């Protein structure tokens, strides 16, 4: 065993767990990860909830009660998921208090079927914040074109946000702009900016998966040499953009009003290709004021054999730009890749949500009390 997780924390990387289930809450496992493995936050998404609830562990009693009340399947899912998030938030509350609200956070996503609709996303975000009713919640809003004005509006209402499904550098800059615009609205409304937090979830491994597939199809020596480099390069250039935006004059005015920087969060950090080291997207994305949300397998791998050697982003920007340019020169369009990944990300979460609707509806019918 190593002290890699401790070292990672000391380098300014907040370790969040990319998973949640009722069993993890009730068994004491989440509390144990916080206590022993430096976990200071939890992220969820529709796929995580679909997997947790369809496994059935710990949900039977609540489903039975919901069936007896004859609630709709949509209401049932919101009651179940917000209960898990509320309980996880309570477990993480001491971390939230100790870090003045920066960590100890639990994320819950707006209905992914609303990803391309601004007004319903805003309404859903406000409803979720009210339903969970914990100060250490982050409402997840996707970084679609329709999501950007929703982010501004929700931040402007004083609700903390986790912006999800960011793949492109251009979109990431738009996300930071939406956050700053939201803070400016909140400031104009007289809200306490020190209480508003946000992270921007920049997805990592999926970029390599898609670009490597295209490089493999080319099959040239140059294409082979470019494998496994694009995802890290993309994330490192995102950090460069973060540094630029949060040292700007516009930011300085908000900083004086006690606003919090929107931290980059490395998402999708489980390595998909067995040819790469299983801690690649942890070891090579270390920088101050970042978050790395890891599946449990990546967390355990990092604890066991992670190679945390200090800041691995500083000084890499020129090389990162050259690596993305090399891929472009091989005829692989960066813009095409990141748009495809955003579209697929929205579709996958919507598909998981629909699977969750179907499996929950079947359970409600099974557990419904017989008439008479």
Residues marked as catalytic: 140
Query: What single string gives the DSSP state of each residue in 101-138?
Result: TSSSEEEEEPPGGGTT-HHHHHHHHHHHHHHH--TTEE
Would you say 291 and 268 are in contact if contact means Cβ atoms under 8 Å apart? Answer: no
For residues 297 and 276, give the distance between their C-alpha atoms in angstroms, rounded to a whole number. Answer: 15
**Cα-only R_g, the chain:** 21
Would you say 339 and 242 are in contact if contact means Cβ atoms under 8 Å apart? Answer: no
Residue 97 CB neighbours (<10 A): 12
Would you say 13 and 279 are in contact if contact means Cβ atoms under 8 Å apart? Answer: no
Would you say 125 and 150 are in contact if contact means Cβ atoms under 8 Å apart? Answer: yes
Paired tokens of 29 = 């496992």
Query: What single string gives the DSSP state of each residue in 20-74?
Result: --HHHHHTSHHHHHHHHS-EEEE---HHHHHHHHHH-TTTHHHHHHHHHTT--HH
Would you say 293 and 278 are in contact if contact means Cβ atoms under 8 Å apart? Answer: no
DSSP state of 12: T
């Amino acid at each position: 065993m190593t002290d890699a997780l401790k070292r990672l924390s000391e380098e300014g990387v907040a370790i969040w767990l990319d998973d949640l289930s009722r069993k993890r809450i009730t068994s004491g496992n989440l509390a144990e990860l916080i206590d022993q493995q430096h976990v200071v936050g939890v992220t969820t998404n529709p796929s995580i909830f679909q997997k947790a609830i369809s496994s059935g562990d710990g949900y039977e009693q609540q489903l039975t009660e919901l069936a007896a009340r004859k609630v709709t399947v949509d209401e049932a899912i919101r009651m179940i998921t917000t209960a898990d998030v509320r309980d996880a938030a309570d477990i993480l509350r001491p971390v939230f208090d100790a870090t003045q609200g920066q960590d100890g956070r639990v994320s819950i996503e707006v209905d992914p079927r609303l990803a391309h609709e601004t007004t319903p996303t805003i309404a859903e975000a406000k409803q979720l914040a009210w339903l969970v009713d914990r100060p250490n919640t982050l409402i997840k809003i996707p970084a679609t074109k329709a999501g950007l004005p929703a982010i501004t509006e929700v931040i402007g209402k004083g609700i903390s946000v986790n912006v999800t499904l960011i793949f492109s550098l251009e979109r990431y800059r738009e996300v930071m702009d939406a956050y700053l615009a939201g803070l400016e609205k909140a400031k104009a409304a007289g809200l306490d900016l020190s209480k508003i937090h946000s992270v921007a979830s920049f997805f990592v491994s999926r970029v390599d998966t898609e670009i490597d597939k295209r490089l493999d199809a080319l099959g040239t020596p140059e294409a082979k040499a470019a494998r496994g480099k694009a995802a890290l390069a993309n994330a490192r250039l995102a950090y460069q953009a973060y540094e630029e935006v949060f040292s700007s004059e516009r930011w300085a005015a908000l900083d004086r009003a006690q606003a919090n920087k929107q931290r980059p969060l490395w998402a999708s950090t489980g390595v998909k290709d067995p040819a790469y080291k299983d801690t690649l997207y942890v070891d090579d994305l270390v920088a101050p004021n970042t978050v790395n949300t890891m599946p449990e397998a990546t967390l355990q791998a990092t604890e066991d054999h992670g190679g945390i050697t200090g800041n691995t982003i500083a000084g890499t920007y020129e090389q990162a730009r050259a690596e993305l340019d090399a891929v472009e020169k091989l005829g692989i369009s960066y813009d095409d890749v990141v748009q495809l990944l955003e579209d697929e990300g929205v579709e996958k979460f919507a598909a998981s949500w629909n699977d969750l609707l179907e499996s929950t509806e079947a359970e409600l019918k099974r557990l419904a009390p017989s008439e008479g």
